[in-house]
Structure 1
Amino acid sequence: MKAQATLTLLVLGLAVGLSACGRKGPLDTPYEAAVEARREAERNNQPVPPEPQKPVEDRPFILDRLL
């Protein structure tokens, strides 16, 4: 009984601790991150990374509606 209560508290503590991880707001795509890194390098007079390529248009998949 005591082991079960300890395990429950441990799982609850992990869930609460991990739920606060991350950044609030929308996620950045790799393209957006590369563009932002390029802008920041220009602002700071650092070597500029190569120009990122635009991503290919996303094609819908039949299971997308389920998500």
Structure 2
Amino acid sequence: MTARTAALAIAMAAALATVAGCGRKAPLDTPYQAAVDARKEAERNKEPLPPEPEKPVADKRFILDGLID
């Protein structure tokens, strides 16, 4: 491995580590919650309101849900 290849590998690793660190560190928003937040934001900014979101139907439990809980 030449010095140029090593430097390129180190630069790529640094770039990947930088990109991997980007993002939001919070739980994911459900589509319903995102729609509610968008509506509140539109009200605050005096913009046309998006349609009122419908409340989601409660999920039924599935036999394999215990694996991911």
Q: Tell me which interval the TM-score lies in, with the shorter structure as reference length.
A: 0.5 to 0.7
* SS of match in other structure, 2:36: helix
Unaligned regions of 5+ residues in structure 1, if any?
Answer: none
Count of aligned pairs: 66
What root-mean-square deviation, in Å, do the aligned CA atoms of Structure 1 and Structure 2 show? 2.6
Unaligned regions of 5+ residues in structure 2, if any?
Answer: none
C-alpha distance in 1 between matches for 2:9 and 2:36: 45
**For residue 25 of structure 2, what is the aligned residue in structure 1?**
24
Of 61, 64, 68, the residue aligned with 1:62 is 64
Structure 1 stretches (4+) deviating beyond 6 angstroms? none
* SS of match in other structure, 2:10: helix
